[in-house]
Structure 1
Amino acid sequence: MRDVSLWRGLLGLEKTVLERVEFDEEAEVVVAHVRPVKRQRGRCGVCRRRSPGYDAGPGRRRWRALDLGTIQALLEADMPRVRCRVHGVVVAAVPWARHDAGHTYAFDDQVAWLATQASKSTVTELMRIAWRTVGSIIARVWADVEVAHDRFAGLRRIGIDEISYKKGHKYLMVVVDHDARRLVWAAPGRTSATVNEFFDLLGEQRCTLITHVSADGADFIDTIVAARCPAAVRVADPFHIVKWATDALDEVRRGAWNDARKQARREPKRGRGRPPADAPPRPGSELAKGLGGARYSLWKNPENLTEKQQTKLAWIATTDPKLYRAYLLKEGLRVVFRLPYHQASEALDRWISWARRCRIPAFVKLQKSVVKHRHRILAAIEHNLSNGLIESTNTKIRLITRMAFGFKSAEALIAMAMLSLGGHRPALPGRN
């Protein structure tokens, strides 16, 4: 193998003329002087159309290539400018790097692969770059992937949800494909404009092909889906519906606990030391103490309760019938989602009737929301569809968010999430 061919293979060069290679002993870097082959010259750096030359540009510049063992490698070349009929005067394209990038294709691809596989410190230490630079590289790589692949192709059943990614009420709106089980779109914000942005990208023709849309109980999402995808079945996520019941139960528990604490404050205080055997009972204090540790006994599913939590639940049933009735209402709604469709419809109506006359304000209010979303709840049972996949995706995005601290924009976080969860993970350079 000739030296030129060897160097081109080591540096990952294609459609490039290698003029010479130098070793800078002082900086301990290898500098390869290169130029594009004749057919690759005089092209717009943005669209890569052939364009007339404009000037010689700012002179020569360098690009970072993959390290050669422990030694850094750089490419150096002229940077002429061309006049594109679409983009105006821009720097000419080069075959070894993306437009306006300071790293080669191979370097960018390896950084993107590492970012989806390794920790933040591993990427920055191994590649010898700042974490903010990683964010810029990921955004560039995802932009190329997005151009090469139609991520909206074949969408039929989708799930929509939002996730907090930063303090200060910063949210991402997330869309997943239930059939391909992948993330297809994400954007900052959780407003009607954000959801409409997705359907604008999808297009009117593809909107008519959507058959099912699952979401939480947000009215603005339901309204937009009804307008943009009128033929789609709108499904209410069972997880969120049961969460509403859990929140209502917790509201009742907190009210009972606060009432017990108020009663305990009105009881006479005891002196120091062990109380005498004939001391009067202190029901308020005992009740407040017991309810203080009852949260998880009420929240957890009955089949997952420990022996101690089962004892706590039995104690609640005898000491606070109202709170125990609220617990049964929560469990009754959860059971509805386990029934076949023909049984669930009747069971849901019975639950609504029970909640309407239970005389517990939190559940009387909840049944109004359940009545409002009744057809969507039954659709979730009939089609066996939920936002479980999107909740799993959100959990993975939260892990990615912890890595993405230091990125200057949400776009870099979204690009990292799309590369990791969108079904188009980058490959290592030189691998098939």
Structure 2
Amino acid sequence: MRDVSLWRSLLGVEKAVIERIVFDEDEELLVAHVRPVSRERGRCGVCRRRSPGYDTGPGRRRWRTLDLGTIRAVLEADSPRVRCPAHSVVVAAVPWARHDAGHTRAFDDQVAWLATQASKTTVTTLMRVAWRTVGSIIGRVWADVDAAADRFDGLRRIGIDEISYKKGHKYLMVVVDHDRRRLVWAAPGRNSATVGEFFDILGEDRCALVTHVSADGADFIDTIVAARCPNAVRVADPFHIVTWATDALDEVRREAWNDAREQARAEPRRGRGRPRADAPPRPAGDRARQLKGARYALWKNPEDLTDNQQAKLAWIARTDPRLYRAYLLKEGLRMVFALPHDAAADALQRWLSWARRCRIPAFVKLAERVTKHRDRILAAIEHGLSNALIESTNTKIRLIARMAFGFHSPDSLIALAMLSLGGHRPTLPGRN
């Protein structure tokens, strides 16, 4: 292999002429003087269209490339400007780096791959760059990936949800593709305008092709989906519906606990130490203590209960019929989602009738809410759709947000999430 070919492979540059290699012993820096091959010169840095020269620009500049062992390496070349018919006067493109970047493509790709695989400290220490620089690199790499592939092509069944990514009520709206099981879009915000941005990007023709939309029952999502995707079946997420029932059950449990505490205050107090054998019982105080520890026995599915929790549930059935009735209502609604569609429709109607006359305000209110979303609940059962994929995606985004802590804006976080979860993970340079 010729020396020039060897250096081109080591430095990861293509379509370039290597003029000379200089090693700066003071800075322990290897400097490769390069220039683009003739067919790559005089191109617009934005669109890469051939354009007439404008001036010599700021002169020679450097691009950081991958280290050679423990030695830092840079490429140095002229940076003339051209006059592009579409983008006016811009710096000419170079084949080894993206436009307006201070690093080579190989360097950017390796940093982006590391950011999706490793911690912040690992990336910054290994690549010897600042964390804010990593955010800029991720944005550039994702922009290239997004321009090369149409991530909205073939979008038919989608899920929409929001996730908190930062203190101070900072939210991202997230959209996933149920069929390809990947993240397709995210943006800061938590309102109908934010969801509208997604449908604006999707376009009217593609909106008409969307067949199913799953969401958590938020009214602003339903409103914008009904307006922009008239042909889509709107699906209520079963997990959120059961969560509503669990919240109603917990409200009843807190009421029972507070009533027991009030009764316990009216009972005569015992002195300190072990109670006497002839001391009067304190049933209300004992009941308050038992109810305080009953939360998980009421929340968990019956098949997952421990022996102690089963005993606790049996005690509730004996001592508090109202709370136990609330528990049965929660379980009844959960079991609706385990039935086939035809049986589920009948079971849901019977559950609604029971909840309306149960004389428990929390569940009477829940029945009104479930009635409002009845068609979407049955659609979820019929089509087998839920927000499980988007909840899994949100969990991964939370982990990415912890890794991305320190980015100046949510744009870098979104780019990192899209690279990690959008089906277009970067690969290491030189690997197939």
Write the letter of the residue equivalent to 2:199.
Answer: F
The alpha carbon displacement at 1:420 in A equals 0.7
The alpha carbon displacement at 1:196 in A equals 0.7
Matches of 2:77 and 2:259, distance apart in 1: 77
**Which string of whole-angstrom CA distances, capped at 9 and with x for unpartnered residues, describes residues 83-103 of structure 1?**
222222221111111111111
Superposition map of 1:355-394 within 5 A:
355-394=355-394
Write the letter of the residue equivalent to 1:164.
Answer: S
Name 2:207's counterpart in structure 1.
Answer: 207
Superposition map of 1:32-431 within 5 A:
32-431=32-431
The alpha carbon displacement at 1:265 in A equals 2.0
Aligned length: 432
Q: Percent identity?
A: 81
Matches of 1:133 and 1:310, distance apart in 2: 55
The alpha carbon displacement at 1:226 in A equals 1.3
**Which string of whole-angstrom CA distances, capped at 9 and with x for unpartnered residues, describes residues 200-246 of structure 1?**
11111111111111111111111111111111111100000000001
> Which runs of 4 or more aligned residues in structure 1 lie more than 4 Å from their structure 2 counterparts after TM superposition?
none
**Which string of whole-angstrom CA distances, capped at 9 and with x for unpartnered residues, describes residues 379-413 of structure 1?**
00111111111111111111111101011111111
**Which string of whole-angstrom CA distances, capped at 9 and with x for unpartnered residues, describes residues 142-185 of structure 1?**
00000000001111111111111111111111111111111111
Matches of 2:106 and 2:156, distance apart in 1: 36
Matches of 1:371 and 1:193, distance apart in 2: 27
Matches of 2:79 and 2:316, distance apart in 1: 77
TM-score normalised by structure 2 residue count: 0.98
Name 1:29's counterpart in structure 2.
Answer: 29
The alpha carbon displacement at 1:312 in A equals 1.0
The alpha carbon displacement at 1:116 in A equals 1.1
Write the letter of the residue equivalent to 1:54.
Answer: Y
TM-score normalised by structure 1 residue count: 0.98
Cα root mean square deviation, aligned = 1.0
Matches of 2:326 and 2:135, distance apart in 1: 48
Unaligned runs of 5+ residues in structure 1 are: none
The alpha carbon displacement at 1:6 in A equals 0.5
1:207 is paired with a residue whose SS is helix
Matches of 1:269 and 1:86, distance apart in 2: 86
The alpha carbon displacement at 1:262 in A equals 1.9
**Which string of whole-angstrom CA distances, capped at 9 and with x for unpartnered residues, describes residues 342-389 of structure 1?**
100010001001110111111111110100000000000111111111
1:83 is paired with a residue whose SS is strand
Matches of 1:182 and 1:123, distance apart in 2: 25
1:208 is paired with a residue whose SS is helix
The alpha carbon displacement at 1:268 in A equals 2.2
Matches of 1:287 and 1:365, distance apart in 2: 27
Write the letter of the residue equivalent to 1:326.
Answer: A
Write the letter of the residue equivalent to 1:233.
Answer: V
Unaligned runs of 5+ residues in structure 2 are: none
Matches of 2:83 and 2:16, distance apart in 1: 22
Write the letter of the residue equivalent to 2:136.
Answer: S
2:209 is paired with a residue whose SS is coil
**Which string of whole-angstrom CA distances, capped at 9 and with x for unpartnered residues, describes residues 307-366 of structure 1?**
111111111111211111111111000000000111000100010011101111111111
Write the letter of the residue equivalent to 2:51.
Answer: S
The alpha carbon displacement at 1:293 in A equals 1.1
The alpha carbon displacement at 1:280 in A equals 1.1
